[in-house]
Amino acid sequence: MRRLTVLIVVLSACSLPRGAEIPGGKTFTNSLGMKMVRIERGHFLMGSEDGEWDERPVHEVTISKPFYLGVTEVTNAQYEQFDPEHRKSRGKLGYSREDDEAVVFVSWEDAVAFCKWLSQKESRPYRLPTEAEWEYACRAGTTTRFHTGLALPDGYAKHFIEGRRQLPSPDLRVARTAPNTWGVYDLHGNVEEWCMDWYGPYPSAEQTDPVGCKQGDFRVVRGGSHSTEVRFLRSANRMGALADDRHWLIGLRVVVGEAPKSPPLPVSEPRLWARNVQQEPCDWSEGPDLAKPYFAGPLRYVKIPHASNGPMFSAHNHDPGLAWCPNGDLLAIWYSCKTEKGRELCILASRFRWGAKEWEPASPFWDAPDRNDHAPALWHDGQGTLYYFNGLSVGPAYRENLALIMRISRDNGASWSKARLINPERGLGSQPVTTVFRAQNGSVVLPVDAPWRMEGGATALWVSPDNGRTWSVSEGTIRGIHGGVTQLKDGRLFALGRYKSPIVNDPLRGEFMPKSLSSDMGKTWKYSDSEFPPISGGQRLVLMRLREGPIVLVSFTDFRPAALKQKRPKGLLIRDASGKQRRVYGMYAALSFDEGRSWPLRKLITAGGPPRKLNGGAHTDLFTMDSTHAEPAGYLAATQTPDGVIHLISSALHYSFNLAWLRTPMPAPDR
């Protein structure tokens, strides 16, 4: 009913009322009890040289016309005169219960509809502020980090605990701290505030009445909020959110004044991965001979300039997704950050073009500004559609506050649909795992990390029967996080998982990787031990059915080296070409020809040869590769192209091989 009400308001208020008037005087109070203050025209320097990367370049902006700005954020009592149904959201998750607290759980679309409703009600041009108007009013003539100076006095920064919601909830009553010199309250903290603009890069030239970019993925929000680090409350700090996202950090403040008529900034040049993408179908017969063993790599696919600090980060790159494109290209995505819990965490991409010898340099793929975009997954359905899934936090961290988004591409990944929220309510079960597949009944199955609070962690399944239009989450869960899942020929789901704890002697995990089987598409599961060694932090397995029929597992022989401390690695026994058993260490593949009942073939994934040092990135770093040692850790993602080549990426490296290579025994060790 609420959605219908909002839609009716938007359709009936698609233009401002005739005779819309802007009042005179320094202040006025409207019919909802909102006090509005006149902001005079003027000039200011927008942005900050010592702030985040997206606050540069600092540029001069002219606000050519005065406007009226709400002295406070819109409150529950004021907003609910427009949308009485919103009262049901009061106190949700413990936030904003009282009449005079700032309204939250309001999307950009809701905010725009509210402004149009109020315009009709009062015959005045209400709207959201532009990003430039917001910063101009916030600064109120100052050039410091805050309108209060270099620091915020006590009382502004409310309720901050990194990555967590703290109860009891913060007091979001408006006007409880001092206003700036222009008489406006709560511009630093309390709640984030929607702006009119699409988020995009700043120009270097002077601007007059800027209105942001022509289009984009996110609408700008400003001011920071409760439960947020102080540095994100600065006058120049920029954030963004999906227009239909509703959560406990974002509210709104309104403007009275005609919208600027300035042209928006043009769309930026496509990123490298999106440029000159060939649309002709690939001739897969030009690939390697399926009957002959084939191995190539490892190649580095994470290519970021040294000391990069935004929008790409050289500090930490991890958690990849990988898909093949109908034109023969490979597309890899992964997250990039300074810290895994940070608000700066973003998604990058690189393309390996058909016939190329190396991966292209990385470039940004998707980034909700100042939101942790955790755990990307990429999948090609084999019928020309690429699917992209990602967790979306309200701020920092990733375990408890993720929404789940989906985008699709039908042009080999050159362009993508707008993000759609699969799980907008946020909570557990929204951190994607890369082993997406189509079930025998036609459903798309997306594994996600489920309750981290469960012993050892778990993996759940989002299932869509209609190619992503609707989704439901499984009742039961796979044992272990980051679960690899495939379907057996008899219809059962077969999964292997990783327990959360990295402690070697953890009794919950025991000596073997946990195995899960479901006969009812994930409603219930039966658990047992597999025959494979368990893995730990910094490691993620791949489990997939090959085009030729066998099931392949790629995993690691031992816990991540950092977890081993002083303990000796156990390795894994394999039989080499000489017929002798020997112990190997690191990343290996195992093949099953009988639906997971036995795994007779096991092989280390290595180029062999004399020892050489490689950098696996992320949690792997430097390691030695030879005929006995392979990459010891990494988050894995894999895809098999129609020419039969299995492409496997770890946190930084790309390996290619085929079934014939997997079936060929490892050579005896080099002497």
Please check whether residues 94 and 209 belong to one and the same domain.
Answer: yes
Residue 14 has pLDDT above 50, yes or no: no
Is there a contact between 334 and 303 (Cβ–Cβ < 8 Å)?
no
Q: Strand 250-251 relative to strand 239-241: parallel, antiparallel, unpaired?
A: unpaired
Least confident of 150-154, 188-192, 451-455, 622-626: 451-455
Q: What is the mean pLDDT of residues 229-248?
A: 97
When pLDDT is cut at 50, 70 and 90, the band that residue 454 belongs to is: low
Least confident of 122-126, 165-169, 431-435, 543-547: 165-169
Any domain includes 577: yes
Any domain includes 26: yes
Is there a contact between 444 and 468 (Cβ–Cβ < 8 Å)?
yes
When pLDDT is cut at 50, 70 and 90, the band that residue 510 belongs to is: low
The pLDDT mean for the chain works out to 92
Please check whether residues 447 and 406 belong to one and the same domain.
Answer: no
The secondary element (H helix, E strand) that includes residue 389 is strand 386-393
Please check whether residues 524 and 650 belong to one and the same domain.
Answer: no
d(CA 269, CA 95): 41
Please check whether residues 54 and 150 belong to one and the same domain.
Answer: yes
Any domain includes 593: yes
Residue 9 has pLDDT above 80, yes or no: no
Please check whether residues 457 and 605 belong to one and the same domain.
Answer: no
pLDDT value for 399: 80
Residue 602 has pLDDT above 90, yes or no: yes
When pLDDT is cut at 50, 70 and 90, the band that residue 457 belongs to is: confident
CATH of the domain at 347: 2.120.10.10
Q: What is the mean pLDDT of residues 123-141?
A: 98
Q: What is the mean pLDDT of residues 625-649?
A: 97
pLDDT value for 586: 96
450 Ramachandran zone, left/alpha/beta (phi>0; psi -120 to 50): beta
pLDDT value for 456: 62
Any domain includes 537: no
The residue among 387, 413, 428 that closes a domain is: 428
The beta-carbon contacts of 52-58 under 8 Å, at least 24 apart in sequence, are: 52/237, 52/238, 52/310, 52/344, 52/370, 53/309, 53/310, 53/311, 54/201, 54/202, 54/238, 54/310, 54/311, 54/369, 55/202, 55/236, 55/237, 55/238, 56/202, 57/202, 57/203, 57/204
Domain extent, residue 104, equals: 2-256
Any domain includes 137: yes
The residue among 475, 503, 530 that closes a domain is: 530
Strand order in the sheet with 637-640: 295-300, 653-657, 646-649, 637-640
Residue 453 or 410, more confident: 410
Q: What is the mean pLDDT of residues 92-104?
A: 96
CA dist 143 → 44, 148, 158 (Å): 9, 10, 23
The residue among 500, 530, 560 that closes a domain is: 530
Residue 15 has pLDDT above 70, yes or no: no
Is there a contact between 92 and 226 (Cβ–Cβ < 8 Å)?
no
Please check whether residues 413 and 439 belong to one and the same domain.
Answer: no
Least confident of 104-108, 118-122, 507-511, 568-572: 507-511
pLDDT 10s digits, 544-558 = 999 999 999 999 999
pLDDT 10s digits, 261-296 = 999 999 889 999 999 999 999 999 999 999 999 999
Please check whether residues 338 and 411 belong to one and the same domain.
Answer: yes
Residue 352 has pLDDT above 60, yes or no: yes
What angle, 0 to 180 degrees and rounded to 10, lies between the N-to-C axes of helices 108-122 and 2-12? 50
The count of domains in the chain is: 4
When pLDDT is cut at 50, 70 and 90, the band that residue 670 belongs to is: low
pLDDT 10s digits, 303-328 = 999 999 999 999 999 999 999 999 99
The secondary element (H helix, E strand) that includes residue 461 is strand 458-464
Please check whether residues 387 and 495 belong to one and the same domain.
Answer: no
Please check whether residues 326 and 474 belong to one and the same domain.
Answer: no
When pLDDT is cut at 50, 70 and 90, the band that residue 167 belongs to is: very low
Is there a contact between 32 and 78 (Cβ–Cβ < 8 Å)?
yes
Please check whether residues 99 and 217 belong to one and the same domain.
Answer: yes
Least confident of 343-357, 426-440, 480-494: 426-440
Any domain includes 378: yes
Any domain includes 290: no
Residue 5 has pLDDT above 50, yes or no: no
pLDDT value for 217: 96
Half-sphere exposure of 304 (CA within 13 A, CB side): 24
When pLDDT is cut at 50, 70 and 90, the band that residue 1 belongs to is: very low
pLDDT value for 508: 46
pLDDT value for 7: 39
Residue 347 has pLDDT above 90, yes or no: yes
When pLDDT is cut at 50, 70 and 90, the band that residue 563 belongs to is: low
When pLDDT is cut at 50, 70 and 90, the band that residue 426 belongs to is: confident
Q: What is the mean pLDDT of residues 198-217?
A: 96
Any domain includes 422: yes
pLDDT value for 19: 46
Please check whether residues 310 and 453 belong to one and the same domain.
Answer: no
Residue 566 has pLDDT above 70, yes or no: no
pLDDT value for 398: 87
B/e letters for 461-471, b = 16+ CB within 10 Å, e = fewer, are bbbbeeebeeb
pLDDT value for 567: 72
* Residue 302: both structure tokens together: 């994470």
Q: How many CB atoms lie within 10 A of CB 447?
A: 29
d(CA 361, CA 351): 8
Please check whether residues 423 and 444 belong to one and the same domain.
Answer: no
CATH of the domain at 184: 3.90.1580.10
